[in-house]
Structure 1
Amino acid sequence: MNRITLSIFFLLSFQFLFAQSKLLSDFPEGQTPEEIGKRIAYRFVGAKHALHAGKWISYPETFYWNGSLQFAELTNDNELAKLLKNKFDLLISSEKELLPIKNHVDLNMFGSLPLNLYQITNDKQYLELGLPYADTQWQVPQDAKPEQKQWAEKGYTWQTRLWIDDMYMITIVQTQAFKVTGDIKYIDRAAREMVLYLKELQRPNGLFYHAPDVPFYWLRGNGWMAAGVTELLRYLPENHKDYPEIMKGYRKMMRSLKEYQTPGGMWNQLIDEADCWPETSGSAMFTYALITGVKQGWLSAEEYAPAARKAWLALVDYVDEKGAVAEVCVGTNKKNDKQYYYDRPRRTGDYHGQAPYLWCVGALLE
């Protein structure tokens, strides 16, 4: 290759890489992550609590809070950050009764929120509040059921239940604990748990059953996995013994998601069913995983950036002027009944959908 040919090659390569990078940074007015993120994040400031069992801050609200805080930090919106912090501080004063107890995977994940606040503020009261939620996932209570004790004896959390949703609930609080303490035990826990779920639930096509006894590819369930494995890989050391297997599972899933993406850019409530309806919360979780994969270099930009951009542009059409996301599947338990997933109610503004949009916003802005 002579000097002129080599120069042309490098010029074309640069132009290609520049074009690929613009796919995830250059959006039309009204569709930018800054505009969409501001609408959704500020909506949360005055919103009512979404309580678990009518008693405690729920996981969808926790994630909405975390996403809003991330947006405030990335955009240097000090006013939003102050409003969100003030809202949280009620939970350690006049609203203490709303703090989740520590006896279920959907409740322990709350710890990720005060641990996030600790990283932003360096206020140790948030660390002291959040860390026990990570620790108690591995501290077996006296009233634990036999099967819970069996999981613990094998080195897993006693809260293991092999629902695919767990792979965000468990990894997010353990990963946050690792970030604030530097203690490898937390990331080891998350990685070990992730390997178990990959082994038990990932199918040859790269997707995941909702649970071993529920052989359906439910969108948001797969979304929790996509987001959870992405979050874990962001902080798992590359020389960690479980890194290769987890990265393999992630890439296998991303290949499948690209194949199942609909022509409109979304994914369906049951991913492999063409007659099912496009659902926003799970689609946003997939989009977050794809954006992050491209930006981190885990995925080929040439192959995956166009899919991520297409998904984002499809998603923004579901956000109204008040920041409410439409077509969100309500909270869903597992059920070995295919029609059950077809018939799940859809809502606008449901917190299950608000948070994943903010994760996409954060990934695009980082």
Structure 2
Amino acid sequence: MRRRTFLRLSAALPLAGTVTAAGRAQAAPADVLPGRAAVVESVRRVNDHWINGHGDPGDNLWARATYFGGTMAAYRLTGEPRYLAYAESWAEKHDYGLAGGVTTRHADNHNAGQVYLDIHEVRGGEERIAAIEASLHRMVHTDRPEKDDDWWWVDALHMAMPPMARLGALRGDSAYWTKMYALYDHTKRVRGGGLYDYTHELWYRDDTWSPGGAGRLSPDGRPVFWSRGNGWAYAAHAKVLAVLPSTDRRAPEYRWNMQGMSRALLARQRPDGFWNPSLADPGHLPGRESSGTALFCFGLAHAIRTGVIDRATYLPVLARGWNALVRDAVHPDGRLGWVQGTGDRPESSRPITYESTADFGVGAFLLAGSQVARLAS
């Protein structure tokens, strides 16, 4: 495939940091969403800052793919051609391919396929989705289709469920949805005794923490539910429900899971609007964390908008989360702070500070903003 030369898009972007002190003084109350124009401005400021600082669009691994999923959401929200061009430059740099090639079964490698499907929706061209389709088609139809234990960590739900759901819809092949549920069900109920805890209505990151696995606890003796891990699960359910027909027999379970998680998130939100990195033990490494909070905002906004959860109950929860991100994590120049770096537990990549940022955290913020804007007036 012919690659497009990346023409220093960053040089053409306006500098961020245009929010005035007066504009900040006029911010909405903490439990009220700001207007749509303010949400769009925050999305633009954060994305423009990222692009200005990253002339090379980067690798095609899960973290950068999460960012580009967010920038495609920002493109759909704003219609800004620079965002689409930046995403295309990234995809073309990698020939719309997957890390590990088409034989990979690793969910992280499939995350790039979400962006390729996004670009395909805009541009067409079967070559753009050839690799992700070949890889998932193998899992569904030819490469040990009975093997259902590939998604052994909760992040995998976000990385691989959405492209599998979307290919089922695109090709009219419900076998993708059947296979997706089999993998999901194994993660939820079998792996380590089941990574979903029905009592707390939250997900363990992997069987290091589940009672049927190693069952590790917080220093206070409480179960450990990692914020970003639950954010991945919550976002996965929202993305799947966005494309799965409501008549699919498995759709009610995905809705119920979002409803249960929403109850858990409502009970565990911090007074300032963020969620702690550790959700069940408020004394276990407390503090602001943007990536989990942004993923929760994305899922909340989608679930409110589509009627999965009650608007009156959850809109203030969403507003507090979104307003906290914009107020306390978005720097005047558009840098997004308080992002926990890569890891697999609340202790990972510490300390988490106002300066801590990462591509996947920016992507999560852009995803959230794209949904919040659809609720804002």
What's the CA shift for 1:225?
Answer: 0.6
Q: Are 1:85 and 2:88 counterparts?
A: yes
| Larger radius of gyration between Structure 1 and Structure 2 | 1
Matched position secondary structure for 1:332: coil
Partner residue, 2:196:
202
Q: For 2:35, which of 3, 26, 32 is the aligned residue?
A: 26
Amino acid of the structure 1 residue aligned with 2:69: N
Q: Residue 299 and residue 116 in structure 1: after superposition, are their counterparts in 2 closer, same or farther (change >3 A)?
A: same
Q: 1:36: which partner in 2?
A: 42
- Residues 251 and 318 of structure 1, relative CA distance in 2, 3 Å threshold: same
RMSD after superposition: 2.7
- Are residue 284 (structure 1) and residue 294 (structure 2) matched? yes
Q: For residues 25-104 of structure 1, what are the structure 2 equivalents within 5 Å?
A: 26=35, 32-46=38-52, 47=54, 56-92=59-95, 99-101=99-101, 102-104=104-106
Q: In the alignment, what sits opposite 2:151?
A: 160
Q: Tell me which amino acid in the other structure corresponds to 1:319.
A: V
Q: Tell me how far apart the structure 1 counterparts of residues 344 and 141 of structure 2 sit (CA, whole Å).
A: 25
**Percent identity (aligned):** 20
* Partner in structure 2 of residue 331 of structure 1: 342
- Shift, 1:355, TM fit: 0.9
Kindly state the Cα deviation for residue 322 of structure 1 after the two structures are TM-superposed: 3.5
* Closer/same/farther in 2, CA of residues 45 and 134 from structure 1, 3 Å limit: farther
TM-score (norm 2): 0.76
Give a deviation string over 1:211-264, Cα, whole Å, max 9, x none: 233141111111111111111122222222212222212111110100000111
Identify if the C-alpha distance between structure 1 residues 298 and 271 changes in structure 2 by more than 3 Å, giving closer, same or farther: same
1:350 matched to 2:340? The reply is no
With over 3 angstroms needed to count, the CA separation of the structure-2 counterparts of 1:89 and 1:342, relative to structure 1, is closer
Aligned to 2:4: none
Amino acid at match of 2:342: G
Alignment pair present for 1:361 and 2:364:
no
Deviation at 1:74, TM superposition (A): 2.1
CA spacing shift, 1:343–1:170, aligned 2, 3 Å? closer
Q: Tell me the secondary structure at the aligned position of residue 330 of structure 1.
A: coil
- In 2, the alpha carbon distance for the partners of 1:313 and 1:183 equals 40
Q: Does 1:294 align with 2:338?
A: no
Structure number having the greater helix percentage:
1
1:180 pairs with 2:178: no
Matches within 5 A, 1:122-161: 122-138=124-140, 153=146, 156=148, 159-161=150-152
How many residues align? The count is 318
Give the drift of 1:110: 1.9
Contact 2:100 2:109 in 1 (8 A): yes
Give yes or no for contact 1:108–1:137 (8 Å, CA) kept in 2: no
Is the contact made by 2:205 and 2:225 (CA closer than 8 Å) also made in structure 1? Answer: yes
Contact 1:45-1:84 within 8 A present in 2 as well: no
CA deviation profile, 1:71-124 (whole Å, cap 9, x unmatched): 11221212332233234322229xx8x855325221122222212111111122
Task: Tell me if structure 2 keeps the 8 A contact 1:109–1:170.
Answer: yes
Q: Any conservation in 2 of the 1:318–1:327 contact (CA below 8 Å)?
A: yes
**2:66 aligned partner, one-letter code:** F
- Say whether the 8 Å CA contact 2:113–2:132 is kept in structure 1: yes
Q: CA deviation at 1:36?
A: 1.4
Q: So what's the TM-score if we normalise by structure 1?
A: 0.78
State the AA in 1 paired with 2:95. I
Q: Distance in 2 between matches of 1:365 and 1:238?
A: 24
Alpha carbons of 1:242 and 1:179: their partners in 2 closer, same or farther (altered >3 Å)?
closer
Higher RCO (Cα < 8 Å, 6 or more apart): 2
